[in-house]
Structure 1
Amino acid sequence: MKPEDYYYALKLIPEVIVRKGKLLHVETWIEEDKYKSSIYLNLKKITFQGNESAPRLFNDKLYFVRGEESKSSLLEDQTYGEPRVLFTLGKISKFEFHNKGILVIGEENVDKALPFKTDKIKYRFDSRGLLRTRQSLYLYDGKELRKIVSGDFDVTDVATNGDRVVISATKDGDDYGLGNVYEVNLETGELNRITKEDGTIQAIAMNKEGKIAFLGHRKGLTPWASLEIILPEENKSYICGNSCGNKVLTDLFDGVKDKIIFEKDLILTLGQEGGTSHIYQISDNKVDRITSGNIVVRGFDYDDGDLAYFYSTPEKPVILKYKDLEYDPNPNIKGRSPERIVVNSNGMEIEGWSIIRDPNAPTILFIHGGPHMSYGYAYFIEFQFFVDNGFNVIYSNPRGSQGYGEEFAKACVGDWGGKDMEDLLNFVKAVKDKFGLKGKFGVTGGSYGGFMTNWIVTQTDIFSAAISERSISNLVSMCGTSDIGFWFNTIESGIKDPWSTEGIEKLMRMSPIYYVKNVKTPTMLIHGEEDYRCPIEQAEQFYVALKMQGVPAVLVRYQGDSHEHARRGKPKNMIDRLKTKLEWFSKYLL
């Protein structure tokens, strides 16, 4: 199969809604180098332009968002004739129904060609570009769209019971991505902060009685912290598995978002244990897991006892489950199954997986990003592609990965390239010994995985080729060029001030560029031109340094792609990326 076959044959599910026995879901796919999406009702396709999403049923009417290149519209379906456009914004992120109309989180359309001025530290954001406009809360009353909450911050979520309204927003911690919950007065726009301590918020929900819950934590700037379900007005919190939410990575282009449901006294959310994620319910102060197996649940909905959800496995990109129904939009796709391997590394159990095609074939170690993300039981296009092309694929969750408890996730902080690298190398040795692998080894990873790829080739020559994607090479320069680097690098390196002499020295000694003279491994660097998380200057530095000392190196730059270039980049670029990676590894490993 050619690289394009792995993308153009796929149909994915980013959202499911169940209401009064009706099942709505969205399917997304790639067609003519564009992402397309349509809405289905009880598995029957009901929208056909290929740019519809976010379906909602209210008073037996269907509402949905139609997205175009530079605008989004909210539409109301009509019994006869075309759906009616209610209003249009630059982007619509979410909408909810209220007694006074429709609450909307959206952004205005702005002219991106105008000069841009800022006085904030965070003035641009990956996949959004320069922050010329922010996410605001609007109310549509049936006639006009009125802005309720806005400012130089983002409204990130909204919940209502039809009367009371609460939002999550970065109003009091925007530069650092910290969020809080606020009650909103719809008449005046006045905000009353509900949460006291600082932390992050991924999603909020409200039941009919007006009780609120959110998915997040109140532990300040702690990227490694386990997420909880918190009821801020009742001083209660719950953890699902080892962390609420789902940090198991995949390279599927579905764009799934976090979600919680609060119905009566029942809360539903996702929780993660190792490389799995499942649905958990919280009721009567008890937390129970209600799905099982080696799967990664990616989205769900619940209504009056009806549960619908979709999940991924290493063999199947997505399965939609509702009552006795199991719907597979990709019946002709079946990936190879991995074997789980647990390795003891310096007294710590490290979970990993291997897909061994042939002991004599070359083997590629994949390193995940984050660092507080995880690999697990989700479908990976790239893994299947390389196995189908004659390579063994291995991957693991070293110290720093989420899903094994907060202490495990925190174990790489201040020590990037230390015990986390030892875990990876111990895993490689264990897999090599277990399967008697005789071929050459390659290494690749993106983001923190790109950092670790750069780092590993400065510390060891056991890999015959490396491909570093959206990587980090210089933790100092990244502090001044990344959308989050000024605080993220500081926290993750265990220092207080990145611009102090001590801070700069530690950041440099933790940077691969500091040891670049040691590199002998042929290394390819792949980067999106519009990556604001790990800016392309990180790849440029490492590439120039490698070339100056005669190390075989290639720099690949993808126009128009952000940090998400491997998951939801331009389709042509994603296809070229697999082809380019295959050529590099074939050259040096076969």
Structure 2
Amino acid sequence: MVTKRKLKKEDLFKIQSITNPQFSPTEKEAVFLNTFIDEKEDQYFNHLYYVNVDSNEVVQWTFEKERISNPKWSPDGKQVAFISNRNEKNQLYMINKSGGEAKKITDLEEGIQSFLWSPCGEKIWFTSSLKEGATFAEKVKKEEEKEKLEAYTVHKMRYKMDGVKGHGLVKQKVSSQIGFVSLKDNSIQQFTEGKDSYSLNDISPDGKKLIIGIKHHDQPDYEFNNRLFIVDVETKNRTVLVDQEGYYGGAKYSYDGRYIAYVGSDATYKNATHSNVYIYDTETELTQNLTESIDSPVGDYAVADVQQGVAAPDVVWTKDNDLYFQLSTTGDVQLYYASLDGAVYPATPEGEHAYDYAIYKNGQIALVCVSNPVSPGELYKVDIAKGERNQITHFNDEWLEEVELVKPESFYYTSTNDVSVHGWLMKPSQFKDGEKYPLIVEIHGGPHTMYANTFFHEMQLLAAQGYGVLYVNPRGSHGYSQTFVDAVRGDYGGGDYEDIMAGLDEVLREHSWIDAERLGVTGGSYGGFMTNWIVGHTNRFKAAVTQRSISNWISFFGVSDIGYYFTPWQIGADMTDPEKLWHHSPLKYANNIETPLLILHSELDFRCPIEQAEQLFITLKSMGKETSFVRFPDNNHNLSRTGTPSLRIERLTQIITWFKNYL
């Protein structure tokens, strides 16, 4: 028997991410994307792959160092169009199934955001950004034609966003518009215009109608509606599909054109509201909530750190007007089937993360990208009726044969107020009975996300370093019930804190191998807030690492890109009640902190701006506390998931070193 080696932080460079499966019109062929990290270039690249669905033969189609997204077959199945940044801007490309190099189709100033083939196959609809007064006729500017620096005048609170290049400032006087390119001569025509922004959801089977989303340019700061309309291509007349407070999108026509399915949630519980699948009947003009009876959210709310470029469809129709969609429930992300008469049931097994998928027109066969706690993910062909599956891709097989991984143990326990909480416990790699091991508690962000039965490189790395790892879904996590996910709002540091500590107490009672004198805690975003809160309220932990955290709700209100509305949504107060904001701020309890605390933060994080870390660090240092502060340049809030690869490795190095020094 060959002894496997322990996982290393550099294994992040070896893990490959399989996403975006797309059936051809004949359903005998498909394409998908494989994303990997180029260690030398310190970047993410991906390639387009072809698969023969009958033989499972896989062939690489593209070889450029580029990022590809959104591959889509032409209606005749002879070509595949996709978006690529091979020439810096995201533009539309097309490759022939018969072979040859991909052909560039667009050369737009702001590049392409999304696209859809027209059913006729003669044109492609797309969305792209436009400056006020500009047209799609303008070409990409050369380097020497870049604009000079200009002052940025702010009139609204929604003026910046995490992840936007530069300083997070949203481009002013820029809107998203819809156009189409004729494939006969690559000529482009603009369909929408003006100051409002438009998104393209779907095209009717006859090509005569579009489903578009509209965001008005003068939308108030506290209005978050995404209006959906059915638009006649010839007359441009609009019919309202949904125009109410909430978040709606992913609209898709049924094959016969009668029904439109879309996913969304109202604003009853603000951003904690469960998403549902809605069906609009174009004949009766009535809408039904197809998943109203399910107390779990539609969609994928799992947190992980290896899947790259996932673009799972919100809903997929079958020819018989049945549907498939993802559902997040009790730590699983499964495909679910639904019929218009109300039947709803799972189509994939429990215990895994089905993170991307495509469905046969008859609904019987699926291509599903699946991960679980000991597999980063591969593409599988699934016979839904028989419950059988065959693995198509094997990109991570060789690595899995080489590295020892730890399978987490799932468990439930009772917290305060008889609340049932779900969690996982990982033993250290190469665990030996009779020995004592330190334990690290991991806390997810959100808070309205969930830990899941999916692969997590960071968890496996900690286990490989000789730590037990505990991670739970406290109140506020998705996947359990509407009451459960809403329970954290207005109670940050209350029931959620009790749930985490109750989980720790549970594993200490049940597992004698855990050394109660060597406990660590870490988390990012909301998990960073909770790490700060925990060390300010207990000295049980001997080391802590807080990442991209919130420390002061008063300043967060004004500096975060979402602070002015997220704060009242989550804490239940704004700047008219600074006492409540301060009560829930970990900075208030800094003098209680005795745990050595490492503070990690990205300099271009505009979700939880770095000043949150700066305040905490300077405060602790001024009080003579044991702390250190690490800043990561040129990265945003998503450093741990999609950040610069070398800095992701440095982040892991910092975490490991801190725990090694203090545990």
TM-score by length of 2: 0.84
Whether the aligned pair in 2 keeps the contact of 1:442 and 1:466 (CA below 8 Å) is yes
After superposition, the C-alpha distances for 1:509-547 in whole angstroms (9 at most, x for unaligned) are 111112212111111111111111111111111111111
- CA shift, 1:206, in A, is 1.6
Residues 120-269 of structure 1: pairs in structure 2 closer than 5 A: 120-128=156-164, 129-132=168-171, 133-142=174-183, 143-149=186-192, 154-161=197-204, 162-171=207-216, 175=221, 177-186=224-233, 191-210=238-257, 211-219=259-267, 222-232=270-280, 233-239=285-291, 242-259=296-313, 260-264=315-319, 265-269=321-325
Q: Which of 344, 348, 353 lines up with 2:419 in the alignment?
A: 348
Amino acid at match of 1:27: N
Amino acid at match of 2:73: L
Whole-Å Cα distance in 2 between the matches of residues 164 and 413 of structure 1? 41
Amino acid at match of 2:261: A
Whether the aligned pair in 2 keeps the contact of 1:168 and 1:204 (CA below 8 Å) is no
Q: Which of 368, 393, 396 lines up with 1:309 in the alignment?
A: 368
Change (3 A) 1:10 1:490: same
Whole-Å Cα distance in 2 between the matches of residues 112 and 444 of structure 1? 43
Q: Secondary structure, in 3 states, of the residue corresponding to 1:242?
A: coil
1:459 and 2:537 matched: yes
Shift >6 Å, 4+ stretches: none
After superposition, the C-alpha distances for 1:167-225 in whole angstroms (9 at most, x for unaligned) are 23433857454322122344576654321321112522122333211111123661111
Amino acid at match of 1:307: A
- CA shift, 1:91, in A, is 4.1
Whole-Å Cα distance in 1 between the matches of residues 193 and 521 of structure 2? 45
Query: Paired residue for 1:53?
Result: 69
Change (3 A) 1:344 1:81: closer
- CA shift, 1:146, in A, is 3.3
Whether the aligned pair in 1 keeps the contact of 2:488 and 2:496 (CA below 8 Å) is yes
Amino acid at match of 1:385: L
Query: Paired residue for 1:536?
Result: 610
- CA shift, 1:80, in A, is 6.2
Please give the root-mean-square deviation of Cα atoms over the aligned residues, in Å.
Answer: 2.2
Whole-Å Cα distance in 1 between the matches of residues 148 and 279 of structure 2? 40
Residues 44-83 of structure 1: pairs in structure 2 closer than 5 A: 44-51=59-66, 52-58=68-74, 59=76, 60-68=78-86, 70-78=88-96, 79=98, 81-83=100-102
Structure 1 runs not aligned, ≥5 long: none
Query: Paired residue for 2:450?
Result: 374
Change (3 A) 1:75 1:251: same
- Tell me whether 459-468 or 200-209 shows the greater mean CA deviation: 200-209
- CA shift, 1:39, in A, is 0.7
Structure 2 runs not aligned, ≥5 long: 1-5, 52-57, 131-139, 141-145, 383-388
Q: Which of 16, 20, 35 lines up with 2:44 in the alignment?
A: 35
Whole-Å Cα distance in 1 between the matches of residues 191 and 154 of structure 2? 23
Change (3 A) 1:540 1:112: farther
Q: Secondary structure, in 3 states, of the residue corresponding to 2:414?
A: strand
Q: Secondary structure, in 3 states, of the residue corresponding to 1:396?
A: strand
Whole-Å Cα distance in 2 between the matches of residues 213 and 92 of structure 1? 25
Query: Paired residue for 1:107?
Result: 129
Amino acid at match of 2:344: V
Query: Paired residue for 2:104?
Result: 85
Amino acid at match of 1:424: I
- Tell me whether 334-343 or 84-93 shows the greater mean CA deviation: 84-93
Whether the aligned pair in 2 keeps the contact of 1:216 and 1:229 (CA below 8 Å) is yes
Change (3 A) 1:112 1:3: farther
Change (3 A) 1:363 1:483: same
- Tell me whether 73-82 or 351-360 shows the greater mean CA deviation: 73-82
- CA shift, 1:367, in A, is 0.4
Whole-Å Cα distance in 2 between the matches of residues 147 and 552 of structure 1? 59
After superposition, the C-alpha distances for 1:396-424 in whole angstroms (9 at most, x for unaligned) are 00111000011100011100000100000
Residues 281-430 of structure 1: pairs in structure 2 closer than 5 A: 281-283=337-339, 284-305=341-362, 306-323=365-382, 324-326=389-391, 327-331=393-397, 332-333=399-400, 335-346=405-416, 347-357=418-428, 358=431, 360-430=436-506
Q: Secondary structure, in 3 states, of the residue corresponding to 1:487?
A: helix
Change (3 A) 1:263 1:91: farther
- CA shift, 1:101, in A, is 2.1
1:17 and 2:22 matched: yes
TM-score by length of 1: 0.94
Return the index of the structure with the highest Cα Rg. 2
Query: Paired residue for 2:631?
Result: 557
Number of matched residues?
585
Whether the aligned pair in 2 keeps the contact of 1:180 and 1:199 (CA below 8 Å) is no
Q: Secondary structure, in 3 states, of the residue corresponding to 1:223?
A: helix
Q: Secondary structure, in 3 states, of the residue corresponding to 1:269?
A: strand
Whole-Å Cα distance in 1 between the matches of residues 621 and 441 of structure 2? 24
Q: Secondary structure, in 3 states, of the residue corresponding to 1:582?
A: helix
After superposition, the C-alpha distances for 1:430-461 in whole angstroms (9 at most, x for unaligned) are 11111111250111001100110111111111
Whether the aligned pair in 2 keeps the contact of 1:38 and 1:53 (CA below 8 Å) is no
Change (3 A) 1:139 1:352: same
Change (3 A) 1:581 1:10: same
Amino acid at match of 1:340: S
Whole-Å Cα distance in 2 between the matches of residues 238 and 318 of structure 1? 30
Residues 421-570 of structure 1: pairs in structure 2 closer than 5 A: 421-436=497-512, 437-438=514-515, 439-495=517-573, 498-500=574-576, 503-570=577-644
